[in-house]
Amino acid sequence: MRLDKLHPVISGNKWFKLQYYLQQATQYSARKIATFGGAYSNHIVATAFACYLRQIPCAGFIRGEAAQTLSHTLLQAKAYGMELHFVSREAYKNKVAIQESNPDYYWVNEGGYGLPGAQGAATIPDLVPDIENYTHIIAAVGTGTMLAGLCKAAPPHQQIIGISAMKNNTALQQQVQALLDTPDNRFTILHDYHFGGYGKHPATLISYIQQCWQQYQLPLDIVYTGKAFFATEHLIKTHTIPQGSNVLFIHSGGLQGNLSLPAGTLPFS
């Protein structure tokens, strides 16, 4: 499922996760929407553009000190009108304190995590013809928001598999369950396909992403979808997913992480 093709800026699952937050912010007549993210955050630039479309002022609280030259992602967000605030990595860990110091903002959690984000992600399967024919749904996992949405919407017989982009992020299981009305044992989060950790991109991963472009004309990123697609192929080849299964891989969009690579590393922009 090519969610990356839906919009050039609000790429992939971002619009789904943001839609109900934006509705709430409008209903509450919020003075400003604020959120969190890193220098190459897909969520930051998507939020900036969505707020630009809705004519809602917005602010991004960015992990780490401001670099002498801003990333392409942050330059984009700034061009769309987002006010950037740089926060030390230590202070960034205490997001509650940042929120409490700006109580008049309408806050969206990093990655859109929360019930409105999951409810928005639950509308993704509506775009899939004959969704009930699939046995497995696979997607990359960051905060677990989309995975929770898929669990809310998927027919009872389907297995939902999330591929964690982070190393040993075992808290994801609880984060997903916290967004569900009842405990759900249909979803599995795999932690063995991180390629060294969040944002790590060894030569083997770069080579795999290049190969997927040459073979399928499929643009993948080094943070999420490249690792998730590799995992999907591996699960099929090793028969962890049984032969005869009907697998839906959701390309969740967002290629911002690739902008951290030297120019020309990947054959697509």
What residues are labeled active site? 41
| Of residues 33, 8, 5, 31, the one with CA closest to residue 19 | 33
Strand 136-141 versus strand 106-108 pairing type: unpaired
Rounded to 5 degrees, φ, ψ at 44 are -65, -50
Sign of CA dihedral 107, 223, 9, 172: negative
Residue 32, C-beta contacts closer than 8 angstroms, at least 6 positions apart: 56, 57, 58, 59, 83, 104, 105, 106
Query: What backbone torsions phi and psi does residue 188 show, to the nearest 5 degrees?
Result: -130, 140
The CA-based dihedral angle spanning residues 107, 109, 113, 114, taken in that order and rounded to the nearest 10 degrees? -30
Residues in the chain: 269
Please, is 29 exposed, middle or buried when counting C-beta atoms within 10 Å of its C-beta (0-12, 13-18, 19+)? exposed
Asked whether the beta carbons of 48 and 77 are under 8 A apart, the reply is: yes
